[in-house]
Amino acid sequence: MHKTMKMTLAALASVALIPAGVTAHEVRAPHPGTVTALTYYSSGAFHGAIDVASGSGCGYWGVETGVVGSVSWNVTIRTTGTVCYGNGSGNQNEAKHIWTNGYSYRVWHFLKTANSYDRTCDRCQVGDEGGTGNVTGPHSHIQYDLNGSNDTSWYANYTVKGEAVDRSETLGYLD
């Protein structure tokens, strides 16, 4: 039932909320798992992104960028080890695309694999689920921001904390 409502909301958003002439990019789950955090952590602190964890541990799933449509990805590898429970803030592996509107879309915390390289692709795999950076466990962190101000509107009404997702699930739309 939830998936049907989600698909209906996605269809309405694509027709009613997106101005004519603007191309929105669909974002799907980077791997199967559960949405573990959204705008706020359970502590109440601001998070401003989507976290998806498989619950299967480090290296279990190949992490995809999630964006439908070919875009150019800048993949930054800050560690080559298998890091599952954090190695300090600023040490997260990152796949990033900067849009023409100046916003950055990022996927963080994955482990380096043979798929961890810069390229243009559609929902490409950039590594395996990991815990690089400032984390308490393996997951994927998906963020859309402008100059450090995280935008949460792109995923509002598309997903909820605790939702089980797979690669076909729409998490939101980027303008």
Q: Is the pLDDT of residue 1 over 50?
A: no
Residue 23 pLDDT level (bands cut at 50, 70, 90): confident
Q: Could you tell me the pTM of the whole model?
A: 0.86
- Separation CA 5–CA 7 (nearest Å): 5
- Separation CA 160–CA 170 (nearest Å): 11
> What residues have CB less than 8 Å from 121, skipping those under 6 apart?
65, 70, 71, 73
> What residues have CB less than 8 Å from 15, skipping those under 6 apart?
none
In the predicted model, what is the mean pLDDT of residues 8-29?
A: 60
More confident residue, 149 or 2: 149
CATH architecture of residue range(s) 2-174: Distorted Sandwich (2.70)
Q: What is the pLDDT of residue 64?
A: 97
- Separation CA 60–CA 166 (nearest Å): 14
Which tokens sit at 17? 């909320």
Domain chopping of the chain, boundaries: 2-174
β-pairing, 140-146 vs 50-53, is: antiparallel
Q: Is the pLDDT of residue 34 over 70?
A: yes
Mean pLDDT (the chain) is: 89
Residue 21 pLDDT level (bands cut at 50, 70, 90): very low
Q: Is the pLDDT of residue 19 over 70?
A: no
Q: What is the pLDDT of residue 42?
A: 87
In the predicted model, what is the mean pLDDT of residues 92-116?
A: 96
What digits encode the pLDDT tens for the residues 107-133? 999 999 999 999 999 999 999 999 999
The percent of residues above 90 in pLDDT, for the chain, comes to 83
More confident residue, 80 or 23: 80
Task: Say which residue the tokens 């904390």 belong to.
Answer: 161
Q: What is the pLDDT of residue 3?
A: 54
Q: What is the pLDDT of residue 9?
A: 47
